[in-house]
A and B are shown apart, each in its own frame.
Chain A
């Protein structure tokens, strides 16, 4: 159980978090079937550094993005998505695979 540094709480056992997969790009316009299945089902699955979504579920409840080396579990960087209070929402830059928690 490696340690993952929550950007708010600091290093915690990884079992406090939920892993939500690679950061993917949601198609900005209506995709073809091929593009949709690519976005929903296909992952790069790199052996190396990747950007991924984590949720500190048994903790502060923060969603954040971590850069993790999948070979060593070393987390190089974490970032909290920019809070938007009072701003117009940003269009979808990076988003979400179809891996909801059920």
Chain B
């Protein structure tokens, strides 16, 4: 399934490329693992008992791996106050996948301190990022 992967030599068109003021990290390699994800390289985020997301440049060596690099928009934001305007998720229990902006699914992880990274379906990425920028304005940023 090479068609799932972004080709070398072609510019990566991020779903957030038209949103100003967002810290876009959509280009990061993202791999969905089905089944056992123990002992894999890269950052492993468990999604459900049987699914995990591995973030890293190299394709993990596992029997069932799906390239989700292009499927998920990813960006980082600063501030628990901003996060609390996005989601009801417990910010002390991250990473977690749950509802943001009243009904959009997102995978959220803490990147140290008050920095958070969100992964959202790329087709909703522009909308989410635009909304987050506006919510930040509501907090005077």
Contacts and interface: CB of A to CB of B under 8 A. Distances in A.
- Is there any pair of Cβ atoms, one from A and one from B, under 8 angstroms apart in the complex? yes
Interface of A: 8-10, 12-13, 15-16, 57-62, 80, 83, 85
B50 A9 contact: no
A59 B105 contact: yes
Interface size class of chain B, counting residues whose CB lies under 8 Å from the partner chain: 10 to 19
Contacts of B88: 13
Contact of B98 (A59, A62, A83, A85): A59
B68 interface: no
Contacts of B47: 60-61
A80 B49 CA distance: 10
Main secondary structure of the interface of A (DSSP, over half): loop
A8 B49 contact: yes
B51 to A, nearest CB: 7
Contacts of B50: 83
B48 A8 contact: yes
Given A15-B102, A59-B105, A61-B48, 5 more contacts: A8-B49, A16-B99, A58-B99, A59-B99, A83-B50
Contacts of B96: 9
B19 interface: no
Interface in B34-77: 35, 47-51
Contacts of A85: 35
Nearest to B105: A58
Contacts of A59: 97-99, 105
A10 B105 CA distance: 16
B93 interface: yes
B48 A83 contact: no
B134 to A, nearest CB: 21
Nearest to A60: B48
